[in-house]
Amino acid sequence: QSVLTQPPSVSAAPGQRVTISCSGGTSNIGNTYVSWYQQLPGTAPKLLIYENNKRVSGIPDRFSGSKSGTSATLVITGLQTGDEADYHCETWDTSLNTGVFGGGTKLTVL
């Protein structure tokens, strides 16, 4: 059972927009920064978004992040087949004093 809750899967057609949610609590998302990672099949995770909404250099602006209260959202617009991957949210839990990940969301581009 992950501290952060993500939907197991989402899907959308090429060119469409998809949102991936990440829900936590006051000891984590509510008072910390959220990061997002993309994990293509068979590869290591790659940092996409840090500090809630800052894109890593080289990440296209089709990827954006936001946070409100105890939830965070990753939005991907103009979906491409190459975006098919698992997406993970992450933050630091100030009560547990540990890093925490969401369970991951598998994105399928139909």
Partner 1 sequence: EEQLLESGGGLVRPGGSLRLSCAASGFTFRSYAMNWVRQAPGKGLQWISHISSSSTNIYYADSLKGRFTISRDNAKNSLFLEMNSLTDEDTAVYYCAGGYLDVWRGNWYLDIWGRGTLVSVSS
Q: How many chain residues bind partner 1 (CB under 8 A)?
A: 31
Q: How far is the CB of 71 from partner 1 (least distance, A)?
A: 15
Q: How far is the CB of 4 from partner 1 (least distance, A)?
A: 10
SS3 at position 99: strand
Rounded alpha-carbon distances, angstroms, from residue 83 to 2, 26, 90, 95, 108: 24, 31, 19, 34, 8
**On the CB side of 26, how many CA atoms lie within 13 Å of its CA?**
0
> Which of these segments, 17-25, 32-40, 59-67, 69-77, binds partner 1 (CB under 8 A)?
32-40
| Contact string (CB under 8 A) for partner 1, positions 34-73, x = contact | -x-x-x---xxxxx--xx----x-----------------
Pick one of 31, 66, 77, 108: the residue that binds partner 1 (CB under 8 A): 31
Alpha helices (H) in 34-105, listed in sequence order: none
Rule CB under 8 A: say whether 103 interacts with partner 1: yes
Q: What is the rounded CA–CA span in Å between residue 86 and residue 8?
A: 9
